[in-house]
Chain A
Amino acid sequence: MTEPYLRIEKLTKVYERGQVLALDALSLDVEKREFLVVIGLSGSGKSTLLRCINRLIEPTSGRIMLGSVDLTRLSPERMRKMRRRMGMIFQHFNLIRRAPVITNVLTGRLGYMPGWKAMLGMFSKEDQDRALESLERVGLREKAYVRADELSGGQQQRVGIARALMQEPEILLADEPVSALDPATSHSIMQYLEWMNREREVTVLASLHFLSLARRYGTRIVALKDGQRVFDGPPAEIDNAKFKEIYGEDAEEVEVR
């Protein structure tokens, strides 16, 4: 019996304001190279879970073991170094809107630079070449010098992916990566994540709203409800009864094709 790649033990998060229990002693093991999709209603704790892993949010209690390292015990500086190995993409892309695409992609290297170089924006030649490569990878090479806010939503999310690629991550945290996009674009974005998972051997943790997307791309699905795990298994196992349990009695499944 070997150690799991990422082990989450009794993770709890209580938001002080309003005393909301976002994660309720959640335990979860993730294997290397899994494409884990987290589903659940808004407020079920999906975002909190992902953000606790790279400690954008500090957990209230519990442990997160990456190999033999307890992420919750790391000093801020060690955690900062650890974050370099974890790419993250966001629902609203979180790009520097007024800056050119290439600058946005280069920010993926900030974790590898001393603070003063970051402050002066002194990116190395290799990093700049790498940025263009990443953009090539997501099909946006010719948009490198266009302002980020001039791109469409799907293109902006691809810039987000290129930024994450720059980190050369082992883990990719995708927080509702397609919720702000239309169905056709959603598939294109999910395929880039799938490519990272298969070709770059990146372990992906993605939260999604649409079950159809979760079934199509996930190798495993975890459903959360009120901060607890209510389903954990391969995509095929979610039937109508399970669906009603996760999303409530009145829910109807919406297909995304």
Chain B
Amino acid sequence: MQGYPEGYLSERPRWTTPAGLVNLIGGPLGLVGRRLSMILLDMAAVALLWVLVTYAFLWYVHGDIGYTVIPWWLFGLFVFELAAAWNSFGVAPSQRLSGVHLVPSEGGRMTVWHRLLHFLAWHVSVLPIVGLLGRRPWHERLSGTRTKRVESGAIKPAPWYRTSVGIYAAVILVVVVVAALGVTVSMANLRRLVTDAWRAGNIWRAFFSPDTTILQTVVRDLLVTFFMAVLATAFAVVVAVPLSFLSARNLMKGPVGRSVYTALRGAMSITRSIEPIVWAIVFLVWVTARRAPFAGVLALVVHSIADLVKLYAEQLEGINPGLPEAITATGGGRLAVLRYGVLPQIINPYISFTLYRWDINIRMATVVGVVGGGGIGQRLYAYLQGHMYSQAGTAMLLIVVLVWAIDYLSSRIRAKLA
């Protein structure tokens, strides 16, 4: 039943009723959408690996980071083939995420023949998309395989509902208050939104007729933004991890420790309260606009450090002191206590917060770009300034795709870590 909408196969209402009609169309559509997004995820993973490998290679050869421009359709073809191979001969990220692997439908062991068939069938199934319809997609039928949930003796998921009347009441209260405020404040705009709709017509028309001729430029800028976020997050982690230990109240005792703690916490909260856009402007002046992406990265780094130190330190303050105590009692030294008393309690939250921050940085990198901090944001702003709405539409579409993909990925991983 994997991948089917709830109740799609178990009870099919007659298609003559409105609900039945929705189910008849919506069910398979949702199914194809889900399978397709999984495949796109794999292709994105392959593309990312590809880019990283070429970067590393070029750096090795030329001693500098550069691009190799191959036609984008060729790049796409490679990515598609590699994703197909990954799904057939290995365990692709999508399979790992949904916790399934490939087994022969007749039972027994997987052979190379099964895998080869699966790989070939992939082309006739995934390319026309219709192959993804049905209980089992075509490539699995043609190769005599099916996906099976990996059994694990590992952790059972906790029930997702852990709630009470109090939480419901609080949520309802907040929703009512926010809605009331929102309606009051935006009333005047609401009327104009309807009457002045025609004004935006041209822009929307342009937005929805994307200009594909600039795809390569836009994708390149998107990559710049992506790596700005990666770089900023990586830098920030390296600085924030040690600082977090100095900003944890339970580790910083004595007069000296306490003053370090207070000073750091103060500095971080001031830094955090200054928006990344402001930092970007400061750094643009500092490192000059010729290195716009660098200025953008610096802005993100500063803000990320301040944010991560707070999140990390709060995690450190919340650890159970019993475990470090137990390791101390065995005669373990400082490092042993750190490694076995503290680390196990913070490692997952730290990774989780880092992913969360990376997710934010992807979006922030775009915003920072608007003030001239490089990447897709800068490009988008230039298009909008020049009234090039088709081009802006293309850029926005790709931003949406990137942000959605990263958001999805990071939330899936974080859910696993919790």
Q: Does the CB pair A83–B340 fall under 8 Å? A: no
Does chain A have a CB within 8 A of B334?
yes
CB of A92 within 8 Å of the partner chain: yes
B325 near A56: Cβ-Cβ < 8 Å: yes
Which residues of the other chain, A, contact B330 by a CB distance below 8 angstroms? 83-84, 87-88, 107-111, 163, 166-167
> Contact check: which of B328, B333, B340, B348 meets A96 at CB < 8 Å?
B340
Question: Interface residues of A: mostly helix, strand, loop or mixed?
Answer: mixed
* A54-B329 contact in complex given A90-B322, A110-B340, A118-B339, C-beta closer than 8 Å: yes
Whether a CB of chain A sits under 8 angstroms from the CB of B71 is no
Q: How far is the CB of A184 from chain B (nearest CB, A)?
A: 25
**Which parts of A10-60 form the interface with B (CB within 8 Å)?**
54, 56
* B 243-254 to A, binary, CB cutoff 8 A, 1 in contact else 0: 000000000000
Q: Cβ of B13 < 8 Å from any Cβ of A?
A: no
A-B pairs with CB below 8 Å: how many?
84
Tell me the smallest distance from the CB of B157 to a CB of chain A, in Å: 14
Within the complex, the shortest CB–CB distance from B387 to chain A, in Å, comes to: 56
B130 interface residue, CB < 8 Å from A?
no
**Cβ–Cβ contact B323 & A112, under 8 A:** no
Question: Which residues from chain B contact A88 at a C-beta distance below 8 Å?
Answer: 326, 329-330
Tell yes or no: A81 within 8 A of B by CB.
Answer: yes
Pair A107/B329 contact, Cβ less than 8 Å: no
> A112 vs B339: C-alpha distance in the bound complex, in angstroms?
15
B20 within 8 A of A: no
Are A115's CB and B326's CB within 8 A? no
Q: Are B331 and A118 in contact (CB under 8 A)?
A: no
Measured between beta carbons, the chain B residues less than 8 angstroms from A82 are 331
How long is the Cα–Cα vector from A173 to B326 in the complex, in angstroms?
11
Most buried by A among B155, B322, B332: B332
Selected contact of A111 from candidates B331, B334, B338, B344, CB within 8 Å: B331
Q: A94-B322, A98-B344 are in contact. Are A56 and B329 (CB under 8 A)?
A: yes
Q: Are A94 and B326 in contact (CB under 8 A)?
A: yes
Interface centre among B328, B331, B333, B336 (most CB of A within 10 A): B331
Q: With A110-B340, A118-B339 in contact, is A94–B332 under 8 Å at CB?
A: no
A residues within 8 A CB of B348? 98
Q: A110 touching B331 by the CB < 8 A rule?
A: yes
Interface status of A73 (Cβ within 8 A of chain B): no
Complex-state Cα separation, A194 to B330, whole angstroms: 20
Q: Establish whether residues B326 and A90, one from each chain, have CB atoms under 8 Å apart when the complex forms.
A: yes
Interface residues of B in 288-344 (CB under 8 A from A): 320, 322-323, 325-336, 338-340, 344
Q: Which residues of chain A have C-beta atoms less than 8 A from B329's C-beta?
A: 54, 56, 83, 86-88, 173
Tell me the smallest distance from the CB of B194 to a CB of chain A, in Å. Answer: 55
Q: Which residues of A contact B325 (CB under 8 A)?
A: 56, 90, 94
A63→B348 CA distance, assembly (Å): 42
Chain B residues, CB < 8 A from A94: 320, 322-323, 325-326
Within 8 A of A (CB), among B380-416: none
- Counting chain A residues whose Cβ lies within 8 A of the other chain, the interface size class is 35 or more
CB distance from A76 to the nearest CB of B (A): 9
In the complex, whether A1 has a CB less than 8 A from a CB of chain B is no
CA distance in complex: A155, B338 (Å): 25
Q: Are B328's CB and A56's CB within 8 A?
A: yes
Instruction: Write the chain B residue with the least CB distance to A118.
Output: B336
| Distance between A240 CB and nearest chain B CB, rounded to angstroms | 36
Considering the complex, give the chain B residue whose CB is closest to the CB of A81.
Answer: B331
Residues from chain B with a CB closer than 8 A to the CB of A112 are: 331
- A111: which B residues are within 8 A, CB to CB? 330-333, 336
- Given A99-B344, A118-B339 in contact, is the A92-B322 Cβ separation under 8 Å? yes
Chain A hits for B323, CB < 8 A? 94-96
Residue-wise interface mask of A (55-89) relative to B, using a CB-CB cutoff of 8 A (1 in contact, 0 not): 01000000000000000000000001111101110
Question: Whose C-beta in chain B lies nearest to the C-beta of A106?
Answer: B340
Residues of chain A within 8 A of B326, CB atoms compared: 88, 90, 94-95, 107, 163
Which residue of chain B lies nearest to A103 when distances are taken between CB atoms in the complex? B340
> Given the complex of chains A and B, what is the CA–CA distance between A83 and B326 in angstroms?
11
Are B344 and A119 neighbours in the complex by a CB distance under 8 Å?
Answer: no
Complex Cα spacing A94 to B326, Å: 6
A223 CB, nearest partner CB in chain B, Å = 25
In the assembled complex, how far is the CB of residue A58 from the closest CB belonging to chain B, in whole angstroms? 12
Interchain nearest-CB distance for A222 vs B (Å): 21
Q: Which of A158-194 contact B (CB under 8 A)?
A: 163, 166-167, 173
Q: Render A115-131 as a binary contact track against B, CB cut-off 8 A, 1 for contact.
A: 11011010000000000
* Contact in complex: A107, B344 (CB < 8 Å): no
Alpha-carbon separation in the docked complex, A162 to B115 (Å): 47
Least CB separation from B333: chain A residue: A115
Q: Which residues of B contact A87 (CB under 8 A)?
A: 329-330
Besides A115-B335, A119-B339, 14 other CB < 8 A contacts?
A56-B329, A84-B331, A86-B329, A87-B330, A90-B325, A90-B326, A92-B322, A94-B320, A95-B326, A110-B332, A115-B336, A116-B335, A119-B335, A119-B338
4 closest Cβ pairs, A-B complex:
A111-B331, A110-B332, A84-B331, A94-B326
Complex A-B: 18 CB contacts under 8 Å: A56-B329, A82-B331, A86-B329, A88-B326, A94-B326, A96-B340, A96-B344, A99-B344, A107-B330, A107-B332, A109-B330, A110-B331, A111-B332, A118-B332, A118-B335, A119-B335, A121-B339, A147-B155
